[in-house]
Amino acid sequence: MPDLDMVMAGLGDALGPVTLLFVVAGVVTGQFVGAVPGIGPVMAMAIAIPFTFVLDPLPAIAFLVGVNKGGLVGGAVPAVLINTPGTPDAAATAFDGHPLARSGKPLKATKMALYASTTGDTFSDIVLITVSAPIAAVALFMGPVEILALMIFAFSVIAGLIGDSLWKGVIALALGLLCATVGLDPQHATPRLLFGWYELYDGLPLAPVAIGMLAVAEILRRLAAVKGRPKPAIRIPESQDPADRRVSLAEYWACRFTLARGALIGTFLGALPGIGSTAAAFMSYASARHASRDPESFGKGSLHGIAAAESANSSVVGANMIPLLTLGIPGSVSAALIISAFMIHGIQPGPLLFEQQGRLIYSLFGAMIMANFVNLLAGQLGLRFWTRVVAAPESVIFSAALLLCIAGVSLSSGGLFGVAVMLMFAGVGYLMTAFGFSVVIFIIAFFLGPRFETSLSQSLVLLDGDPLALTGHPVALVLLGLAAVTVWHLGMRRPVKAARHGAGPG
Amino acid sequence: MTNRLLGLFFACVGLLLLLVVIPRQTEVIDYGWMRPQSLPNAAAIVIAAAGAVLAFRPRGAIDFDWRKAGRAALYLVLVAAGVWLIALFGFEVVAPLIAMAVMLMAGERRPAWLALGTVGIPFVIWLAATVLLDRPLP
C-alpha cells in the first residue's frame, strides 16, 4: 500500500501555484476547444503535447488532463445550443439539452450539464484514487506472458467494440502494429521498413502520427464540409426569470439517482479498454429513461436526460486512467495521448509507476481533483462566453489549428520531416475514417506495438516456443480464453443478431 | 459492394506486404524465436486474412464522398506546398500565407476575421514558441 507521507507530499505538490496555473489553463483551454464544434479535447491534447515538452512532468500532464476534463464540459455547450455536439460524447446531451434551450432556458441546460459533468468526474476520480494502487500491486505479479495475454485481450475488445465491423477493426489494429515495426527491431537492431528514409531509424514518431491522424485528418474533414457562413448560436434572452437561468439545489437533488447511475455506468465502462465516453453517455441515457417514472419527458428538455448523459461521459475520464496507470494500457485515444506525454517526460506507465513515481502519481490525482473544482468554477463564470465561441467561424478556427499542428510537430520532432509524416498520416487517417476503419484502434495498436513485440519475444523465450507451456500460466490462459470469446461474440454472434434485426451489410 | 472491394484491396495489400515489401525491407536473420520480419509478417498475414473475411462478409458503415474527398485532398496539397515553402523561406513568412489561403478556400471573406487569422494567429504562435518557450520555429 502507498506510504501516507508520499501521498500527502504528492497531494501537496498538486496545490503548488505552478501546477494550479497549468490546471486552470488546461481546463479553460479544454472548455474553449470543447465549445467549438469539430475541435474537441482529443484534437486539442494532440496539438498541445509538443508544447508541453519544455514543462516539468506534473504541470505538463496536469495541463493535458485539464484539457480533457474541460473539453467534456465545453462539448455540451454547442450540443445544447445548436444541437451540434462539440464532442461525440455530448451527442446524448443534445437529446434533452437542445429542447430545453429552445424553450428559452439555455443557461439552465448548460448549467445542469456542468454540474452533472463535474459530479460524474469527481466520482470516477475518487474510484481511480482508491483502486489504482491495489490493482498496480496485483499487476506487479504479472510476467511477460500475462502482459502479452492482457494486450491480446485488450486488442480483441478494442477491435470488436470500436466501430461496427470486427474485421475492419482487426485490419486497423494490424496496420497500427505494422507501422510500429518501422525502424530498428528491438531484438537484433536491424533496420526494418525504412524505404531509404534514415530519419526513421528510431521508428515513426508518435506525435506526428497521432496529430496527423487525430487532428489534421479531422480538420481536413471539417474544412471539406464547410458550406457558407457558420450557423448562428441560439440567442440567450436578456430578460429571463432567474429560475430559468440556474439549476436550484432541489432540481439537482431530484436528479441524484440519475447522476449516481450515470457515474457508475461511466466509471465501469471507462475502466474497460475501448468503450469510450460516447457509449457510456448513451447507455446511461437509455438506463435513466427506462428507470424514469415519466419517460415521455425525455427528449423534450428533461433535466434527468442531461444529467444522465453528462455524468456518464465525464466519469469515463478518471476511470480511463485505471488501466493506463496500473497496466500501462491506454483504453482510449485521450489515454494514449496522456501516456505518450508520460513517456516524453521519461516516465513509463505501468505497475512499477506507483513504486518509482508514487509522489508524481498522487500529485496527478490531486491535480485531477483540483481540475474538477476549476471546471465547475470556470464553467460558472465562462458559460456565457463559451456560448459566443459557438459562433466563431470554422475557417479561422481550422486555419489556426493547422498552423498550430505544423508548429507543434516541428517543435517536437526537431524539423519538417515530422511535419511530412504528419501530413502523410493525415491523408491515411482521412481515408480510414471515410471507409469506416477506426483510427482510434490504429493509434492504440501503434502505441502498444513496441511493447507487444518485446512481450511476445520474452514470452516465446520463457515458453520455449511450446504452446502447452501456457498451462503453467493460468492467468494468461484465462485472458486468452476471454479474448477468443470476445472475438467469437463480437465477430460472429453480433453480426448475426444485427442481420436478424434488419441491418444489412454496408 | 464498397466493403467487398475494400476487403479485396486489403487482402491484396497483405499479400503484397508479405511476399514483396517485407522481404525486401527487412534483413534475414536465422536465429532466435523472434526475427526482424516476424511481427511485420504476422501483421501482413492478419491484414490479408481479415481483408479476405471482409470481402466474404462485407459489413460496416462507409461515409465516403468523392467531392468532399477531392476538397480535402486540395487542402492537403495546399498545406504540403506551404510546408515546402516553409523549408525555403521560414515559418514566419509562409504561415500567414497558408492561413490566408485556407480561409479563402473555406469561403471566408470578412476582412476582420481574415486579418485575425492571417496576422493575429501566426503572431501568437510565434510569440508562444519563440519568446515564451524559447524554441526555434522552422
A positions 422-451 inside 8 Å of B (CB): 423, 426-427, 430-431, 433-436, 449
Closest partner residue to B29 among A190, A227, A395, by Cβ? A190
DSSP A181-215: T-EE-TTT--EES-TT-GGGGG-S-HHHHHIIIII
| Residue type for position A400 | A
Distance, CA of A473 to CA of A131 (rounded, Å): 25
DSSP classification of residue A228 = S
Distance, CA of A193 to CA of B72 (rounded, Å): 28
Q: Which of B13, B16, B21, B33 is best to mutate for the A interface (most A CBs within 10 A)? A: B33
Residue range A138-155: average pLDDT? Answer: 82
Segment A263-273, tens digit of pLDDT: 988 888 777 76
Distance, CA of A438 to CA of A444 (rounded, Å): 10
A189 part of contact set with chain B, CB < 8 Å:
no
Segment B61-73, tens digit of pLDDT: 888 899 999 999 9
Segment A263-320, tens digit of pLDDT: 988 888 777 766 567 778 877 888 888 888 888 888 888 899 899 988 988 888 788 8
Bridge partners of residue A183, in order along the sequence: A192
With beta carbons under 8 A apart, name residues in chain B contacting A190: 26-27, 29, 36
- What percent of chain A is predicted at pLDDT more than 70? 89
- Of the listed ranges A268-282, A330-344, A399-413, the one predicted with least confidence: A268-282
With beta carbons under 8 A apart, name residues in chain B contacting A435: 2, 6, 62, 64
Segment A24-56, tens digit of pLDDT: 999 998 888 777 765 667 777 877 887 787 788
With beta carbons under 8 A apart, name residues in chain B contacting A394: 106
A175 part of contact set with chain B, CB < 8 Å:
yes
A496 part of contact set with chain B, CB < 8 Å:
no
With beta carbons under 8 A apart, name residues in chain B contacting A423: 76, 79-80, 83
Q: At A501, list the grid cell.
A: 434485426
Average pLDDT, chain A: 82
Closest partner residue to B117 among A400, A433, A495, by Cβ? A400
| Residue type for position A247 | V
Segment B30-46, tens digit of pLDDT: 888 888 999 999 999 99
- Do the chains contact at B138 and A410, CB–CB below 8 Å? yes
pLDDT at A390: 67
Distance, CA of B64 to CA of A378 (rounded, Å): 39
Q: At A160, list the grid cell.
A: 470488436
A469 part of contact set with chain B, CB < 8 Å:
no
| Residue type for position A268 | F
A positions 52-71 inside 8 Å of B (CB): 54
- Of the listed ranges A76-85, A172-181, A465-474, the one predicted with least confidence: A76-85
Q: How many residues does chain A have?
A: 506
A positions 195-214 inside 8 Å of B (CB): 195
What is the model's pTM?
Answer: 0.79
CA of A76: how far to CAs of A36, A195, A351, in Å? 10, 45, 35
- What percent of chain B is predicted at pLDDT more than 90? 65
Judge whether residue B78 has pLDDT over 90: yes
A positions 390-409 inside 8 Å of B (CB): 393-396, 398-400, 402-404, 406-407
Closest partner residue to B3 among A192, A419, A505, by Cβ? A505
Closest partner residue to A221 among B72, B80, B121, by Cβ? B72
Q: Is A77 helix (H, G, I), strand (E, B) or coil?
A: helix
**A–B interface: beta-carbon pairs under 8 A:** 228
Closest partner residue to B51 among A171, A449, A457, by Cβ? A171
A21 part of contact set with chain B, CB < 8 Å:
no
Across A278-287, b (16+ Cβ under 10 Å) vs e yields bbbbbbbbeb
DSSP classification of residue A414 = T
pLDDT at A74: 82
- Do the chains contact at A165 and B60, CB–CB below 8 Å? yes
- Do the chains contact at A495 and B59, CB–CB below 8 Å? yes
DSSP chain B: -HHHHHHHHHHHHHHHIIIIIHHHHS----SSSS-TTHHHHHHHHHHHHHHHHHHHS--S-----HHHHHHHHHHHHHHHHHHHHHHHH-HHHHHHHHHHHHHHHTT---HHHHHIIIIIHHHHHHIIIIIIS-----
Q: Which of A52, A63, A171, A410 is best to mutate for the B interface (most B CBs within 10 A)? A: A171
Closest partner residue to B117 among A399, A407, A449, by Cβ? A399
> Do the beta carbons of residue A300 and residue A99 sit within 8 Å?
yes
Q: At A423, list the grid cell.
A: 501530413
- Do the chains contact at B25 and A193, CB–CB below 8 Å? yes
